[in-house]
Amino acid sequence: MRALAPMIIAGRGVKQDPVQGVALLTHAAERGSAEAEKELFDIYLKGASRILANKPEAMKWLAMSARHGDVDAMNNLGHMSMNAAMADRNLVDGYC
């Protein structure tokens, strides 16, 4: 699921369908794939064809990946939590 989803999102070798690709990534993430969670973070942070950027959704997936032990996700979550605008800053998540 995780390998096929980016191909479907970008239309590499298959018909492009970002919604179906995100659904596959979500399915993989819900089954515990920290890598799929990080990919969902990237997609929702930046947006993709027919997928709008959604920072709260992006942060949700990054936090889930961090909680599953992904060190890069932990680092990114800490950095983003500590350096966010004052209204969005979460020092507890940043230090954890």
Asked if residue 86 belongs to a domain, the reply is no
Please check whether residue 80 is in contact with residue 55, taking contact to mean a CB–CB distance below 8 angstroms: no
Domain hosting 57: range is 4-68
DSSP helix/strand/coil, 49: coil
pLDDT tens-digit series, residues 36-55:
999 999 999 999 888 899 98
Q: What is the pTM of this model?
A: 0.80
Please check whether residue 79 is in contact with residue 90, taking contact to mean a CB–CB distance below 8 angstroms: no
Report the chain's mean pLDDT, rounded to a whole number: 85
Into how many domains does the chain fold?
Answer: 1
pLDDT tens-digit series, residues 48-75:
888 899 988 998 999 899 888 889 988 8
Asked if residue 75 belongs to a domain, the reply is no
Find the distance separating the first CA and the last CA of the chain, reported in whole Å: 30
Show the tokens assigned to 84: 């966010």
